[in-house]
Amino acid sequence: MPVIIDAQHEPDFTPLDEATRAIGTGLQPGTLIIYETTVPVGTTTSRMAPLLEQTSQLKAGQDFYVAFSPERVSSGHIFRDLHNYPKIVGGMNEQATAMAAAFYRSVLDASIMMMASNEEAEFVKLIETTYRDVNIALANEFAHYADVHGLNVSRAIEAANTQPYSHIHTPGVGVGGHCIPVYPYFLFAGAEDRHNQTYDSELSMLLLPHFARRINDAMAEYAIHRIETIIGPLAGQSVLILGVAYRGDVREVAFTSAKLLQNALINHEAMVYVDDPLFSAEELHSLGYTPLAPEVRGEIRAVILQADHQAYRSFDASQFTRCRVLLDGRGTFDREQIEAAGIRYISIGDGAREQFDLGESDGQAALTSVVWNGGKQ
């Protein structure tokens, strides 16, 4: 039961609150309740425990015990991750922590790491996901730099990562999923709630993660910028997005960057079509997309790979007879195969000099505008 964010990027606790109240109505003395759903720091102790007390008329830490243990698994690899990753546990007091640790030792082979409190355990998950978001944003910034200066970011990152202290992630057209686009906002919520209690108000606002979120969400607009420098304005032109899932070969669409790409293309007045072998045409319609129909293939002028499904490894680019450019947003396609079909191949940070050269200074200004305006022009 995930806690998600609303349109204002505020956490929506409604499902978790309802589940907690339901648990509270039947709560018995001596019970241990463990939360695994990722939440802002302080939620388990300051929000969930009081709700349990209200509905059960029992006292937390005395009649029942509350702990937090962050879920640390990814879709498609749950059992592997449960086995390989240490289980983090923290409780509202020492007894709750010990009880939670004993429970997980009884059901998992993984090692157990006990934290000092619920809050510290909650903080662990927010650190993990925010680190990845910031790392990807840094990779995307390197990609911007590479494109302006005619460098290949993938080769440069691969070489840099041979040094053991460099762990740069991969740039792309966006970040999706249940975790990375969502949980940094939980960290912000925790910091802002304590804004007046900290000695350093600037530090409390977590500026770097804020900028990382803006950079990663702006990659959709940057992808459109790359395409338009090759084929000109997209108004009235047909563009195909390959993959609406948030990750390759995972049939989930939570906070997928396909939506950001679609919105950016619509803002540029393009006609947008999608393809995804994991979803039926009816499902794509229900998700707010226009599925690619066979009769439209000849109208497609640009293709963007958003999800690197295995099925796309055999993608036949030659069927798109009027397509001029394919932007490989995940580094999946074979450049030679795409170009053999008469289609220009580009990727984020490939450093390719564009047909409509903006010039180095103008190009840098365009990229800066896209990123620091949050993808809005």
User: What domains can be seen in the chain, in order of their start residue?
Assistant: 4-116 (3.40.50.720), 137-377 (3.40.50.720)
Query: pLDDT (tens digit, 9 = 90+) per residue, 264-301?
Result: 999 999 999 999 999 999 999 999 999 999 999 999 99
pLDDT score at 376? 44
* Cβ(133)–Cβ(213) below 8 Å: yes
Would residue 323 show up in a list of annotated catalytic residues for this protein?
A: no
Q: In the beta sheet, which residues pair with residue 303?
A: 240, 326
CA 257 vs CA 19, 50, 196, 350: distances in Å: 30, 37, 35, 20
- Marked catalytic residue, from 179, 259, 323, 376: 179
| DSSP label of 310 | G
Sequence-ordered alpha helix ranges (H) in the chain: 14-25, 43, 49-56, 78-84, 94-107, 118-149, 153-160, 183-193, 201-204, 207-217, 219-231, 257-267, 281-286, 335-340, 360-372
Which residue shows structure tokens 């993984």?
A: 110
pLDDT score at 76? 77
Overall size of the chain counted in residues: 377
Query: pLDDT (tens digit, 9 = 90+) per residue, 7-47?
Result: 899 999 999 999 999 999 999 999 999 999 999 999 999 99
Q: What is the mean predicted confidence (pLDDT) over 73-88?
A: 87
Q: What is the mean predicted confidence (pLDDT) over 81-99?
A: 95
pLDDT score at 189? 83
- Marked catalytic residue, from 125, 259, 323, 376: 125
Query: pLDDT (tens digit, 9 = 90+) per residue, 170-201?
Result: 999 999 998 999 999 999 885 555 444 444 55
pLDDT score at 190? 59
Residue 357 has pLDDT above 50, yes or no: no
Q: What is the DSSP annotation of 66-107?
A: EEE------TT-HHHHHHHSPEEEEESSHHHHHHHHHHHHHH
79 pLDDT band (50/70/90 cuts)? Answer: confident
Pick the more confident residue, 73 or 291: 291
Would residue 259 show up in a list of annotated catalytic residues for this protein?
A: no
Q: What is the mean predicted confidence (pLDDT) over 80-90?
A: 92
